[in-house]
Amino acid sequence: MFYLSNGCFFLQRAREMGRGKIAIRRIENSTSRQVTFSKRRNGLLKKAKELSILCDAEIGVMVFSSTGKLYDFPSTRLLTIFSTPFFLLLKSLISQADTDVFSDLDSVNPIACFS
């Protein structure tokens, strides 16, 4: 668009297309919510992997879905920690949908799992 101001023309760029801002609140549509969760989870795990590689950082990410499924990313040295009995127990408890995971974890001593 051209505008005339004090005898001079100015060229104003049209608004560029880009990502719009979204309100951070719960998505009511369950299908949209699941798709968003899947995309953002994959993006988060990808960023964790990239950060681990680029910066030689030790990264551990655990994401629990609304259905209780566990998704995790351990960097190389954390892989041994994610394979400890504590985390294996955690994964198995979460896979059981009818079990209240957190009440069962009260009886687990995480320090004993690492020794």
Q: What pLDDT digit, counting tens, does each position of 19-63 carry?
A: 888 889 999 999 999 999 999 999 999 999 999 999 988 888 888
Distance from C-alpha of 106 to C-alpha of 108, rounded to nearest angstrom? 6
Residue 106: which of 95, 115, 93, 97 has the closest Cα? 93
Q: What is the pLDDT of residues 63-110, one digit of tens each?
A: 888 887 888 888 877 777 777 777 777 777 766 655 454 555 555 555
pTM above 0.85, yes or no: no
